[in-house]
Each structure stands twice: as structure tokens, then as C-alpha cells.
Structure 1
Amino acid sequence: MYKHGVYTSEIPTSIVPPVEALVGLPVVIGIAPINLASDPKTNEPVLCYTYAEAVQYLGYINDFENYTLCEFMKSHFTLFSVAPVVFINVLDKTKHKAAVAEAAISIVNNEAIIKVQGVILDTLVVKNASSEVVPDIDYDAGFNDAGECVITILNKSISGEIKVSYDKIDPSLVTSADVIGGVSSEGISTGLELINQVLPKFGIVPGQLVAPKYSCDPSVAAVMSSKAGNINGFFKCISLVDIPVSEAGKYSDVVEWKNSNNYIYENQIALWPKVRLGDDIYHMSTQVAGLICKTDSQNNGVPYVSPSNHSLQMNGLVGNNNDEVVIGIDQANYLNGQGVVTAINFSGGWKLWGNRTACYPSVTDPKDSFIPVKRMFYYIAQTIIQSFWQKVDAPITVRLIDTIVDSLNIWLNGMTSAGYILGGRVVFLESENPLTSIMDGKIKFHVYVTPPSPAREISFDLEYDVDYLKTLFS
């Protein structure tokens, strides 16, 4: 085309700004009272930023023993005030249910209350004498705060008593196999297999895998570790696993149980025992997930600070049969030295205590054995992948290599200046990039980085200095 005049054009910026990585996002697998939910979700990841959203999709009742997602809801949104969280409920009301035979209940002040929890409303059949009562015309049904079904009589001619039959959800029918899940012949995923749907659906990479109660099962914990180590083929995260107080009731039992059941991986945080706040009892993994998110949020989302020695929302430790557990700092340190994280009340209230991942002490590499260092490596890897994904399939030129090296070095320098790392750099080495690899479209960059280790031991030497006696003669 013939041109005459002054023209401009644009070229891509030579520096690529980093993508912000939300490295602490909890993905929680468990069961919920979905009969109470207005829009119930089963075996489907749901992203919730508020308590109200969680109740909409999952329902809520203050029964943590049976409904583990309610436990997490209250802890995360109420006690730690952090968000978001992805919930995966595996309780299926078409499968995990029990039929309740017809029985009579009394009507008092135009209301009849079924004094059980878990009633599935769309299975409720109400009869007056021998005839069936019509919903929305003769009666209306809902739930009170205790999760009991309340039948409000609209037809004033109905009095005395009614007969009801129904199905109710039965959380005891949910097994570890439901939590582990799988993929059906139709390609439908359930349980932990749904982890890989979180990023495509919500654009956020899972940062923590949590399964309160069920992570006490070694088979569940093993799958959690496997899934955390390979998210969508590119990313990794940590898994929070509880050591069961029913089998390790004393601190001296914990280490043998941990090693015998293979809670030994670098992407695991092994936790013991449970914690109590008032009348509520929480699995420690539930509260630690909230504490990690809170600690990250106080440090611009960068996970370089250990959650250890930060406050939990608790007033006691709980063991088998909900008995009180009392451990001292020496006992807690013993557990820490065996790769178990616990809690202590030593200075400033109850705090999480322990920096080591579950692979310690058999693995001492700080990259793998320190919780904040391990999480920083995941954070840095996630940021690099998401930032430079846009460069995949670009022509391999000097400009491409310089853009990646310069952009990443600028980011690492900023991380160093902020104190998030002690130092970092990226280089493109000829020795790591043979001509055959470049011809095949493969290039490799070497990233050197050093996140700070937590100051797990601070020592002071005290010495009696006789020279100060001379001050008596000053």
C-alpha cells in the first residue's frame, strides 16, 4: 500500500508484569446439611466469599461432628474473617439417605414439628387421618434454627395431629471412598477428583486442600497429597491432614502413628490434636487453614511468614472422647521435631506451634521441610507459570529470552527489596539449552531463589561480667 504522511505502530512491552497469585485458597472437601440449602450443590466446587453464599449452597447447622463443612464455614468466615473458599460437598441426598416410617405428630398453635434433623422436604408426605394433605394449600414446611422441620398448618380445619413420612439425609453413610471420589464411565468427577475443576471454573489455583475428619484416614490423606502435588498438570499446593485423636490420644502415640500411616510428605502439614472454643470442637486443620489465609493477607498475600506462633481461635486442646489434652512446650517441641504441628498456651494465649512439613525429620532440605519456604516455592512457581503463559508458542528469539529474563529479574528484585526473599535471579544458560532442544521448541531458564527460613531457635548466652563490679567504685 502506498503511504504518504506520518504513521505510528505499537510493539509489545519488553517487560511482562507478574500475575498476582492467590496462593492460600482453601479447597475443602466434606459433607453439609444440604437439605437446608436453598440451592444445594453436591459434588460440585462452589466458590464462596461470604457466609451467606455458603449457606445458600450447603445449608448450615451447628453440628460439627456430622457436618464438617459447617465446621469450616464458622471457623473461616466467623472466627478468622477471611475469604474466599471453595467447598466440595460429597453428601448426596439421593444416595446418603434413610426412609422414616409414617408416624403421628401433634399440632400445637397451628404448627407441627418433626423433632429430627435432615428431613428432605421434597420427600415429605403429610396425612390427616387417612387422606393426604396438599402442600402450599393445606400446609407449608420449612426449618427452624435447630434444623428441625416445621409444618405450618394453613387449613384451619386440620387440628389435633397429622401423620408424616419422609426420607432424611444420613451423614453416617458417607465414607472415605465418597471423599476420595473418582471419575465415572460417563466422565463425571466426584470427591477429590474435582480439584482440577477449580482453576477452569474460577480462575484461581487451589492453595490448600483440607478434609476435616476424613483426612484422619490414611487413604484420604494419601490421595490429598497426590492431588496437591499435581493440579491441572502444572501447579502444586499443601494439604492439611489431621492425626486422629481416637488412635493417637497421647502425644507419645502421635509419632509412631504418623510414620506408620505415611504422613511423611513435603506437601503435607500434619496436625494434632483437635481444638476447642467454648462448646465447639474443631479439627485443627480447619483452624489452621483460616490462620494461614489470615497470615498471608497480613503480608500482601505472599506466604513467606510461617503461621507458627500466631494466634488460633481456641481455649483448649481436645483428645479422644473430647477429653482435655495438656501438653507443655517441651512436648510440643518433641512433636515439632518429628514433623507434627500442634498448639501451645505459653505466651500471649493459644498459638499454633511448628514450622515443619510432614516430611521432617527424614527430609531436612529447607526447601521441603519448612512450611513457609515450601509455600514460597509454590507461590513463585505459580506466579511464573501464570505470568509467562502468554509467551508460550512465541518465536524463540533473543527478544523473547531477554523479555523473560528481564521481567522475572525485576520481579525478583522487588521481592528482595520487600523482604519476601533474601535474593533471587534468573539466567538463561547455554549448558542447559542444547541446540537440539531449541530446535525442538524447548527453552529452559534457571531460577535461583532463597526464601527466608523461620527463626525457629533464638539463643542468648548469658555471662557474669566481673568488670561491672568496678562501677561500685565510680
Structure 2
Amino acid sequence: MAISHGFNKTEAATSVSAPVSVNSGLQVIVGTAPVNLLADPAAAANTPLLANTFKEAAAAVGYSDDFAKYTLCDAISASFQVMGVAPVVLINVLDPAKHTTEMKTKSVQVNDGVAEIGETGILLGTLVVKKETTALVANEDYTASFNDDGTVNIAIVTGGKGDGATALTVTGSILDPTKVTAADIVGGVNASTGAETGLEVVRQVFPKLGMVPGIILAPRFSKDPLVCAAMQAKCRKINGVFDAVCYIDIDSSTTGAKKYTDVAGQKVKQGATSREAYALWLYGKIGTAIYSGSALAAAATVYNDSLYNDCPNASPSNVSVPISAACMEDGTEVLMDQEQGNVLNEQGVATFIRSGDFVVWGNETCCYPKNTDPKDAFLCVRRFFNHTWTQFVLSNQSKLDKPMNKKRLQSIIDSENMKGSVYVSTEVCASYSMKADPDRNTAAELVAGHYSFYQYCTPFPPFKQINNTMEYEAGALASALSL
């Protein structure tokens, strides 16, 4: 035994920084995930799952770096690994009961008691493992486990029926993300059971989690016109009360906008027209990983909110994203500059340009340029209206159905005006105030238990343009050169 003498040091692995927690832009993400990695894959289909860390997200729906197959992982990585923001709500539509394909019978070699199946997406519960013609029993004759890359190891149990095998034959079912369609993302409601799927599950977020959706995403799928339309519709009157925005990917595949001058037409094809939608053309590349524009921009937006005290009054435009290149969906790099980016902005589409670092570029929602009302056309103003309305509802929910007396009504006005004074003093808004609306508070309305308020809300628009006039002052030469 060695004698201990002097100094001794050990080093622990560096802890991953905790993500910044922001609630004003709660991301609700609908897509596909490798749920076969879970103990109960079926339980992770079409239900809202909250994740505050990357580890929680991976535990909730599984994780893979293959973002083209597993679109939830695109947003999980963009939020937790790239921008460091939380939380997110994940809605996986990849259903093991529907979206599978049969794995062809394979013969796998056994080395040192272990055989590796070089397939990903395997549903362990469907595996049939045989030694020649003898069927082996899971957890008696063998154990199956996943490798980091999603492939499966089969370890032979000593003394079991597979002991001594040099080869095994295996069959089973594999998750098949290619079978997920736009209709699965849009979802619906089962007429007999009332079960909700896809975007319809967004309704469950507040009743189940007590959290209000801020940004709705369906990375990559949102390029489909059916999904694009459904996302815009789902942003309005969530639970009959709340409003959100959605981030849309403008199709940059071979069938979409292949150059920036094609984007305006593609936006029309996708039907991205509402004040609730913020459209992104181009994806982002980090190393070999390719992230959807919507996932990157949404994560950057939430990060930007964190810099403004969890308040969405600032535009995500000109916010840095740590990508190495802007690219098409297939990874082909695109060199966008400010001039080209401005062409897209004039059509109500954002993109990524290089401005020292790469930045999100675009302030306008998809209703622009047809609708130029600041509360609709500017994303940051739209989001601030949504945010303050949500806070008003949550703050006053307990007052509903109580006696409609003067003191209670005045307390609502006073509370909003106190909040408004803070917004104005901290330069979040130019004005924010509430008063009673005498024109609508008629005798008929009052006896029905209805009371109306009128509110002024003026968040500052984004500082979009700087104009500077320069002149050569010739007269200064005579003064400067006089001896």
C-alpha cells in the first residue's frame, strides 16, 4: 500500500452550465423523437412533456443527433446546447403503434458474449432473438441495451439458453420517422375517445403544466402549407384565452426557395400570412450539424428575453447565434448579406446574415407588408401584447365571479397602472395605462355582470434604421492650413 505524504489533487468533470430560465417565451415544440430509447415508448406519444434541462429532455423523449429524422432533437439541442435557455415543452407525434417498419431478419455475430445490432430505432419490446431455432427470453437468456449511437447490444446471460452461441438471429420493429406526415403534426381529436394528437395537444399545456405557450414550433415540418396554416390558427385563443406566436421555416429544399429571390413566392405558397407567424429562410450549421432556422431563432429569441428581465419587448433581430454558416436544408452554404436580408425583411421574412457574428435578421411578422400596424407587423410588439395580456389574465383570474363592486374594479385598474409605471420608468414602454371604459359599461352590461376596461400599451418599436448625413466641409481646409 502506497504511503500518502504531501499534496494530493483530484479533478472533477466540469459541470454543464444551467440554462437560463425564461417563461415569457415558453417554447412548445411539436415533432418527432427517438422514443424507442425510453422504457415506455408509447407513453411519450402526443402528450406535453416539460423539460428544464437537456438531461430531462433526453429522458422525456430520447435524443439523437439525426435532426432530419428527429425534429424535436433539433430544437432540444438549439435551446439547451446552443443558446442555453429553458424550459421547453415537447410534444412527440412519433407513435410506436403507428409509425414503425419491420426489421429484416439479421444474423449477428457474438463476440465475448455480446452481439451488436447495427440498426437504430429498434423497439426493444418487439425484439425476437434466437440461437439457431431456439427463442431466447429477454432478461433471462439475454439483456438488450442501447449504445450511445442508438444501436443495440445483446449480452448473453451465462447459463441461459443462449450461452455458447457464436451467432444470433434477430427480428423486430423499428421506429420509422418517414411515416410521420403533415397530418400527424396537425393532429386532431378522436371522436369516440376525445384523445388529442399533434398540435391539438397544445391545448393541454396550461391545464396540465400551469404554463402558457409563448412560441409554437414544428421544426422542418412547418414548411408544409397544412402545418403552417394549423400553427398560425393554434396561436389564437389557446384555452379560449391566451395568444402565442409561431416560428415558421420557409422551405429551402429542392422543391422550395433555392435562392433569396424565390422566398417571397414560397412564403405565399406556404400561406404564411398572419401576425402570429415569424418566418425564417435558411438553416444554420454548427460543425456538421444542421439546425432548422425556426429552432435557432426561437432559442435566440428566448435568450434575448432573458437579457430584458424575462420580458419580450426587444426584437430578436440582430441577436447573435453561434453558427458557423447559414445554409439550405441540405447543408449547402448561402452567403447572405444585409442587402439581401433586407429584401427578405421587406416581404415579412427573417434570415441569418453575418455581421461580425452570425445574427438573426428581421423584425417583421408574416402579415407584413400587407399589414403595417405596429402591434401586428413588429414581432416584439406582438409578443409584448401577448405577454401583457397573459399576465393580466393570470393576475386577475381569482377575481372572476366575485362580487363586482367598486373596490374590486378599482384594484384591477390600480394594479395595471402600477405595473405600467414600472414599464414606463424602465423604458420598456412609452405608455402603459388602464381606465374604465364608460362607453361600454352601460346599465345593460353592468346588470349582466360585464365590465369593460380600456388599456393603452405602447412598447417601443425596434431601432430599425440609422440615418446620417455626411458633408465634406471645404471651408475647414483654409483654417487648418493657415500658417
| Superposed pair shares fold, TM > 0.5 | yes
* Fraction of identical pairs, as percent: 37
**Partner residue, 2:452:** 444
Q: Which of the numbers 87, 91, 101 marks the counterpart of 2:104?
A: 101
Q: Output aligned runs, 1:31-430, within 5 Å.
A: 31-40=32-41, 41-155=44-158, 157-185=163-191, 186-246=193-253, 247-319=256-328, 321-345=330-354, 347-430=355-438
| TM-score (norm. length: structure 2) | 0.91
Letter of the 1:231 counterpart: I
User: Take 1:403 and 1:81, find their aligned partners in 2: how far apart are those partners?
Assistant: 39
**Alpha-carbon contact 2:223-2:270 (below 8 Å) kept:** no
Contact 1:206 1:237 in 2 (8 A): yes
The residue identity in structure 1 corresponding to 2:89 is V
Amino acid at match of 2:176: D
Provide the secondary structure at the position in 1 that maps to 2:290: strand
Is the CA contact 2:228–2:270 (under 8 Å) kept in the aligned structure 1? no
List, as ranges, runs of 4+ consecutive aligned residues in structure 1 with deviation greater than 4 Å: none
Separation of aligned partners in 1, 2:329 and 2:137:
48
Q: Secondary structure at the match of 1:265?
A: coil
Q: Confirm or deny: 8 A CA contact 1:287 1:313 kept in the other structure.
A: no
Contact 1:243 1:271 in 2 (8 A): yes
> Deviations along 1:122-149, whole A, 9 cap, x unmatched?
1111111111122222211011111101
How far apart are 1:261 and its partner, in Å?
Answer: 2.8
Instruction: Confirm or deny: 8 A CA contact 2:129 2:135 kept in the other structure.
Output: yes
For 1:70 and 1:320, the matched residues in 2 are separated by 16
Q: Write the letter of the residue equivalent to 2:45.
A: T
Retained in 2: the 8 A contact 1:276–1:318? yes
Q: Quick check: 1:268–1:358 contact (8 Å CA) kept in 2?
A: yes
Aligned-residue CA RMSD (Å): 1.5
State the alpha-carbon separation in 1 of the partners of residues 222 and 319 from structure 2: 23
Note the alpha carbon deviations across 1:296-349, whole angstroms, 9 max, x for none: 11111111111110111211111254321122211110000110000101x321
Q: Secondary structure at the match of 1:164?
A: strand
Kindly indicate whether the alpha-carbon contact (under 8 Å) linking 1:240 and 1:271 is maintained by their aligned counterparts in 2: yes
CA distance in 2, matches of 1:103, 1:259: 48
The answer for the alignment partner of 1:6 in structure 2 is: none
Aligned equivalents of 1:35, 1:429: Cα separation in 2? 56
Deviations 1:150-184 (CA, angstroms, capped at 9, x unpaired)? 11112363221011111111111111111111110
Deviation at 1:22, TM superposition (A): 2.7
- Give ranges in structure 2 of 5+ residues lacking alignment: 1-21
1:332 & 1:44 partners in 2: Cα distance?
Answer: 38
Larger RCO: 1 or 2 (CA < 8 Å, sep 6+): 1
CA contact (8 A) 1:316 1:324 kept: yes
Task: Give 1:467 deviation, angstroms.
Answer: 4.3
Q: What is the Cα deviation at residue 39 of structure 1?
A: 4.7
In the aligned structure 2, how far is the partner of 1:344 from the partner of 1:70?
24
Residue 232 of structure 1: how far off its partner (Å): 0.4
SS in 2 for 1:317: strand
1:137·1:155 contact (CA, 8 Å) conserved in 2? Answer: no
After superposition, what is the alpha-carbon deviation per residue over 1:337-396, rounded to whole angstroms, capped at 9, x for unaligned?
A: 110000101x32100100000110000011100011111111111111111112112222
Partner of 1:408, secondary structure, is: helix
Aligned partners of 1:38 and 1:59 also within 8 Å: no
Deviates more, 1:188-197 or 1:252-261: 252-261
Equivalent residue of 1:296, what SS?
Answer: helix
Task: Select 1:461's aligned residue among 466, 469, 478.
Answer: 469
| Residue of structure 2 equivalent to 1:22 | 23
In 1, distance between residues paired with 2:259 and 2:397? 49
Does the 8 A contact of 1:38 with 1:56 survive in 2?
Answer: no
SS in 2 for 1:374: helix
TM-score by length of 1: 0.93
Report the counterpart of residue 11 of structure 1 in structure 2: none
> One-letter code of the match for 1:388?
N
Which amino acid letter does the alignment assign opposite residue 205 of structure 1? V
Q: Take 1:463 and 1:288, find their aligned partners in 2: how far apart are those partners?
A: 39
**Alpha carbons 2:225, 2:269 under 8 Å: kept:** no
Unaligned runs of 5+ in 1: 1-20
Contact 2:51–2:60 (CA under 8 A) maintained in structure 1:
no
